[in-house]
Amino acid sequence: MFDQPLVTGSARRAAWRDSLFVDHGVFRLVWTNAAAVVPGKVYRANHPAPFRLARLARRYGARTLVNLRGHRRCGSDALSREAASRLGLSHVDMAFESRGAPHRDRILRFAGLYRELAFPVLMHCKSGADRAGLASGLVVLFEGGTATEALRQLSWRYGHFRRSRTGILDAFFLRYRAEAEGRLPFLDWVRHEYDEAALKRDFVAGRLSSFVTDRILRRE
C-alpha cells in the first residue's frame, strides 16, 4: 500500500517500487495492449507508467485520462495522477468491477460522464483486459454500435479470458443482445429491465480459467 504525496525523492522511489513490484507494473513496462475503441475519440490501455502515458497522450492527442480502477492507494495511481497533471490531462475516476455483474448505477454514471468528457480520451484499468474491455464495450453501445461489436472489446488479444470469472462481463452484453437489442435502446434496457442478480445467478465460470486470472495473473 502506498499513500503519500510525491514531494520527495524517497517518496517517488517508494512509489516506483510499489508500482513495479506490488502492483506488477514491471510487466507493463514491456507489454502494452493500447488500442483504439473509437478512432480519434476513445482509446484503451493497461495502466501506463508515466513515460508511456506521455507517449500515448502524444500519439492519440488525449485530453482526458479515465481511471477505471478508481482512486487506489498504490504507487501506480500516484504516479499516473502526477503525470496526467504534468501533461495537462484531465483525470477522471470511474471505478468498475471485473468479476461481478456490472452495476446499473455505475453504467448510468459512466454514461453521464461520457457525455461530459473532453475528447480524445484514454481509458485504463490495471491490465487493460477486463474493466477496460467492459468500459470499451459500453462506449461502443453509447456510440450506436451493436452488442456483437461491444463483445469484441472483451478479447484474448487484450488478455481477457471469457471462461473465467471475468466472463460475466461477456454474459452482460450477450444478455442485452438476447433480451432487448433491436427492441429497446441499450440505456433504456439498463434502466428498466437489466437484472444484476439474475445475471450473477445464471453465470458459471470455468475453474481453470479463473485460477489463471485470479491466482497466476493476479488480476483485480
Mean pLDDT of 85-100: 96
Mean pLDDT of 134-139: 98
Which of 126, 128, 180, 122 lies closest to 153, judged by CA?
Answer: 128
Whether pLDDT at 215 is above 60: no
Note the pLDDT of residue 220: 65
Which of 10, 15, 17, 59 lies closest to 34, judged by CA?
Answer: 59
CB 66 within 8 A of CB 117: yes
- Write down the pTM of the prediction: 0.92
Which domains are present in the chain? 9-216 (3.90.190.10)
pLDDT over 90 percentage in the chain:
87
What value does the CA radius of gyration of the chain take, rounded to a whole number of Å? 17
Whether pLDDT at 77 is above 60: yes
Mean pLDDT of 155-178: 94
Note the pLDDT of residue 205: 76
CB 132 within 8 A of CB 121: no
